């Protein structure tokens, strides 16, 4: 198929677009955007396509960010200020940090995708969010065609959220990301499964051990995107009130895994709710839930966005119907033409 995006989205959905290009500089980005505007076409910036649900046909230009490079801006005995091109591979950058003995990002090892997309949903894992180490983003505004810097505060970070996903959605292109990292190790060992793994394997408490432990745990719990289509967690873990939680445990005779937040609301685990309802054994049009982790929707067929979203809706309706809990899709659902078109 012409301009197929199948190899460019980790869910491996059938998808294509009007045109494809990439940029490795802001000048090239501007040229591409001007070109697409001449045809009044839309333009979508992607990194590695690991957090998107692409439509069967995107009626515009898809632009891959390939701005590369890592540069040290300044350093002291305690910290290093590094700026990284948005097109760099996230895991490769975290690995580079380990080699350079720059610490802070080790809990975020093995997350697929680009450095530039990391701030978009404020990636997080094992008790750490990227916003804890990010100091600013260099961005290009598609409306004013200006480049400027946004501080971490201006990025409006929240749980799996930022200004790039909210008020400025689709308006800013992240060009480079600045981090302030530690040169002296300061472990972030608060997440139960990580603590358990380190203890059971008698690992030394060093950043490199944490990095290796995270890589090992993720290797056991997550499907490899090269082997099976998926976009990581498909639903955000739902947060409900204490009252709603009390009602839930009174109605059902099962122990719900949960986590009480500082504001007393309760975070449930979407994967457990789906598993309790038996969805882990269901398969439709090549879509199913991963056997080792029901939060991950996998795809190994010829499915498209509409079939994926139909399956997701079945899951959402079922959880809402039985438990009264709403599940929100985590990856970005990209608008386009939903039915496959022949090119």
Ligand X SMILES: Cc1cc2nc3c(=O)[nH]c(=O)nc-3n(C[C@H](O)[C@H](O)[C@H](O)COP(=O)(O)OP(=O)(O)OC[C@H]3O[C@@H](n4cnc5c(N)ncnc54)[C@H](O)[C@@H]3O)c2cc1C
CB of 62 to ligand X, least distance (A): 9
With respect to ligand X, which residue has the nearer C-beta, 123 or 248? 123
**From the candidates 114, 233, 288, 304, which is the catalytic residue?**
233
Partners of 103 in beta bridges: 182
Rounded (10°) angle between helices 192-200 and 207-221: 110
In contact, 111 and 123? CB cutoff 8 Å = yes
DSSP one-letter code for 206: S
Q: Which is nearer to ligand X, 231 or 266 (CB)?
A: 231
Strands 266-268 and 239-240: antiparallel
- Minimum CB distance to ligand X smaller for 53 or for 315: 53
DSSP string covering 78-94: SEEEEEEETTSBHHHHH
Rounded Cα–Cα distance for residues 189 and 198 (Å): 9
Looking at the Cβ atoms of 222 and 266, the one nearer to ligand X is 222
CB of 90 to ligand X, least distance (A): 6
Active site residue 160: yes
Catalytic member of 42, 138, 330, 332: 330
Catalytic residue among 160, 176, 288, 304: 160
218 catalytically annotated = no
Q: How far is the CB of 122 from ligand X (least distance, A)?
A: 7
CA atoms of 133 and 107, how far apart (whole Å)? 12
Residue 227's nearest CA partner among 173, 174, 300 is: 300
Q: Output helix, strand, coil percentages for the chain, rounded to the nearest 5.
A: 30, 30, 40
Min CB(131)–ligand X separation in Å:
11
Tell me whether residue 118 or residue 266 sits nearer to ligand X (CB atom).
Answer: 118
- How many angstroms separate the most distant Cα atoms in the chain? 61
Q: Exposure of 193 by Cβ count < 10 A (0-12 exposed, 13-18 middle, 19+ buried)?
A: exposed
DSSP-assigned beta bridge partners for residue 23 = 65
Q: How far apart are CA 277 and CA 319, in angstroms?
A: 8
H or E element, residue 150: strand 147-151
Minimum Å gap between C-beta 46 and ligand X is 4
Smallest gap, in angstroms, from Cβ of residue 75 to ligand X? 26
Length, in residues, of the chain? 343
Tell me which residues touch ligand X (CB under 6 A): 10, 44-52, 65, 86, 111-114, 116-118, 120-121, 123-125, 164, 173-174, 222, 225, 230-232, 332
Task: Output DSSP code: residue 158.
Answer: B
Q: Which is nearer to ligand X, 16 or 50 (CB)?
A: 50
By annotation, the residues acting in catalysis are 160, 233, 330
């Amino acid at each position: 198929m012409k301009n197929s995006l199948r190899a460019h989205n980790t869910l491996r959905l059938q998808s294509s677009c009007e045109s494809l290009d990439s940029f490795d500089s802001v000048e090239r980005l501007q040229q591409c955007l001007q070109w697409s505007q001449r045809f009044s076409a839309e333009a979508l910036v992607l990194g590695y396509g690991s957090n998107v649900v692409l439509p069967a046909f995107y009626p515009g230009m898809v632009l891959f960010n390939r701005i590369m490079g890592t540069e040290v801006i300044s350093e002291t005995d305690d910290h290093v200020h590094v700026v990284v091109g948005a097109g760099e591979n996230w895991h490769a950058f975290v690995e580079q940090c380990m080699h350079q003995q720059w610490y802070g990002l080790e809990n975020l090892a093995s997350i697929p995708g680009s450095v530039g997309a990391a701030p978009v949903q404020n990636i997080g894992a094992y008790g750490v969010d990227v916003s804890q180490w990010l100091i600013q983003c260099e961005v290009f505004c598609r409306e004013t065609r200006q480049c400027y810097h946004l501080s971490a505060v201006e990025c409006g970070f929240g749980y799996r959220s930022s200004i790039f996903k909210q008020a400025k959605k689709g308006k800013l292109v992240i060009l480079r990301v600045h981090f302030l990292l530690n040169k002296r190790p300061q472990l972030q060992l608060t997440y139960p499964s990580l603590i358990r793994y380190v203890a059971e394997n008698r690992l030394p408490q060093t950043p490199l051990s944490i990095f290796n432990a995270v890589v090992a745990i993720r290797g056991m719990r997550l499907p490899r995107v090269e082997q099976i289509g998926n976009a990581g967690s498909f639903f955000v873990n739902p947060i409900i009130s204490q009252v709603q939680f009390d009602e839930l445990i009174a109605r059902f005779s099962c122990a719900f895994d949960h986590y009480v937040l500082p504001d007393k609301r309760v975070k449930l685990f979407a994967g457990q709710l789906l598993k309790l309802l038996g969805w882990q054994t269901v398969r439709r049009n090549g879509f199913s839930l991963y056997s080792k982790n029901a939060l991950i929707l996998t795809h190994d067929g010829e499915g498209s966005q509409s079939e994926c979203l139909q399956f997701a809706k079945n899951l959402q309706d079922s959880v809402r119907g039985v438990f009264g809990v709403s599940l929100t899709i985590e990856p970005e659902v990209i608008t386009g033409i939903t039915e496959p078109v022949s090119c």
